Structures are given as C-alpha cells and as structure tokens.
C-alpha cells in the first residue's frame, strides 16, 4: 500500500461515537481510517499507522463473548489510545482488573488532572476540566507498568498511561471526541500530533486530489463501472471516479422495486444530466419482488 499522508487507525468496538472519533482526528488535519476490531494483525500492519485508537463500545470486557484484540496490537511500536471500552480492553488484555462500578457514571463529570505533561498538555484550568462519561465498568487495578494520570470522584483511574517500558499507551475513561468534553479536541490533537508525530497535512481537498490520482492510476486507459445507489457513499465514489476518468466510467443504477417514488428519475437527473455521467439504469424490480414474495419479516 502506498500512502501520501500519516494515518491513524480507529478500531471500532461498536461505539455510537466511532465516526465522530475519526472526524475529530481529520479535523486535526490527520487522516483517520475506521477498521473493525477483528481486522487481522497483518492488515493493520500493512496500513503502517502512526497511531491506533480503540473506540468505546457497549460490551463489558469480562463477558464471555466480549470483543477482544490480540496483545500484539499493543506491541506494534506505535502509540495507542484507548477510549472508554478501549481503556477497559487494554486493562483486561494486559492483566489489570475491570469490574462493574457501584455507581454508573453517565454525563458530565469533573476531571482532576494529575499529569499534564503530554496527553493533557494545555487542557483545563488549574488541573480541572469537564468531561463526558458513559460507562458502567471501571478500572479496579492498573495493568503492570501503568499509572493513573487523572481521576474523578467516581473513577480513581479516569485516565492512565504506560510508563518506563518504552510503550506509548494512553487510556481515557471519558469521551474526548464529543463536544461536551471541554478540551477534548486538544487531547486528541496532543495524541495525534505530539505523541504519534503525525504532521497536520491532511485536508478534504487533499484527499480528493489523492483519490482522483489513485483511481486514474488504477484504471489507466481501461474502463470502469461503479454501482450507484444515489446514497452518500456511492455518489461520492461516482463523483470521484468521474472526475478521474470521465467517459471511461459507467455507473450502474439498479431499480430493485423498493425505491422511493421518483428516486430512479432523480438519480438519473443528478448524474446523467447535471454531471454528464454515463448512467445505465437496470430495472430488476420483478426479480427482487419475486424473491421477496411471501416474506413478511425483514
């Protein structure tokens, strides 16, 4: 794989905020990419990330089918930031102790910062800041080689980091990606810029340039097709591909018989007439509806 920008991988454990984590990293002008937590180690290595973020999630690490990662993910030599479930997962994988808290912590909390040397640099006033919590478990015993760097009245270990072993692992029990956490964006900037060493060179416009160049290089003088549904993802893909290769592109729009009224015509109008994209309409409604005959439970 060839990359033009530093990148941070976000491993998703089912958090409602995963997309927001990736967005905040990109707002810091660093490219982020979301991968499922089950992504093989060799694939993660192939992306050559400058840092890895483990998202939150609804599970508890001590449940029988809790989503886990191999310890090797934490041994790749790149900084790791665990958020909420990600923090508890790191603790569990490294033989610390996670248990159900006697009182669930949800909503605004006052965070007392005990170490502002790196992750919390420039955050809060007088060592205190407001954060957004959403968890029912908490860290009862730190993993070996870690120390607490912040706490709340309900969480003695609200943030922690590895020390003295060369690893750069940081963990937060709260959510820095949400607007309710005052200074949350600064925390993420500290992580991706200072700790991971990512250069703030990525912008949406630079991504467009990169994507167009990659598509043009991949297709060459050949032809390409793009499955077009009219949704955001396929529409962006079609627009980028058309900018890259023009008339070499054919978009295929399939009418499955379950579209909104006038949807097929609107997609055709937007792409064929306004953007001059070659759109081929396929009426497969009878095939779809026949296959669905008698089905009442989606």
- Annotated catalytic residue within 171, 175, 196, 226: 175
Contact, 260 vs 229, CB < 8 A? Answer: no
> Between the CA of residue 293 and those of 256, 278, 289, 290, 298, what are the distances in Å?
13, 33, 6, 5, 12
Alpha helices in 166-203 (DSSP H): 184-189
* Pairwise CA distance, residues 151 & 109, whole Å: 10
Q: Whole-angstrom Cα distance, residue 184 to residue 198?
A: 18
Most distant pair of Cα atoms in the chain: their distance: 67
Give the total residue count for the chain: 298
DSSP 260: P
Burial of 249 (0-12, 13-18, 19+ CB in 10 A): buried
Does residue 175 have an active-site annotation?
yes
Active-site residue, from 92, 151, 177, 196: 177
3-state helix, strand, coil in the chain (%, to 5): 30, 30, 40
* 32 vs 25: CA distance, rounded Å: 6
The token pair at 93 is 């994988």
Which residue numbers are catalytic? 84, 175, 177
């Amino acid at each position: 794989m060839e990359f033009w920008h530093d990148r941070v991988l976000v491993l998703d454990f089912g958090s409602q905020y995963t997309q927001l984590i990736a967005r905040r990293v990109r707002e810091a002008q660093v490219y982020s990419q979301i991968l499922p937590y089950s992504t093989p180690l060799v694939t993660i290595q192939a992306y050559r990330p400058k840092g890895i973020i483990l998202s939150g999630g609804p599970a508890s690490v001590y449940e029988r089918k809790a989503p886990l990662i191999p310890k090797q993910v934490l041994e790749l030599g790149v900084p790791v930031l665990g958020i909420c479930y990600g923090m508890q997962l790191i603790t569990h994988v490294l033989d610390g102790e996670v248990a159900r808290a006697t009182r669930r912590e949800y909503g605004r909390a006052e965070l007392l910062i005990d170490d502002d040397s790196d992750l919390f640099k420039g955050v809060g006033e007088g060592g205190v800041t407001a954060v957004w919590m959403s968890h029912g478990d908490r860290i009862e015993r730190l993993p070996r080689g870690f120390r607490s760097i912040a706490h709340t009245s309900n969480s003695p270990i609200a943030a922690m980091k590895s020390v003295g072993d060369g690893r750069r692992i940081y963990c937060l029990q709260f959510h820095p990606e949400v607007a309710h956490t005052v200074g949350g964006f600064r925390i993420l900037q500290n992580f991706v810029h200072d700790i991971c060493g990512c250069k703030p060179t990525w912008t949406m416009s630079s991504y467009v340039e990169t994507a167009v160049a990659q598509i043009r290089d991949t297709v060459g003088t050949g032809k390409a097709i793009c499955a077009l549904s009219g949704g955001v993802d396929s529409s962006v893909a079609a627009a980028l591909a058309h900018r890259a290769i023009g008339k070499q592109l054919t978009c295929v729009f399939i009418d499955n018989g379950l579209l909104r009224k006038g949807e097929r015509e609107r997609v055709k109008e937007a792409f064929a007439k306004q953007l001059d994209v070659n759109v081929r309409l396929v009426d497969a409604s009878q095939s779809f509806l026949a296959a669905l005959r008698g089905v009442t439970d989606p």
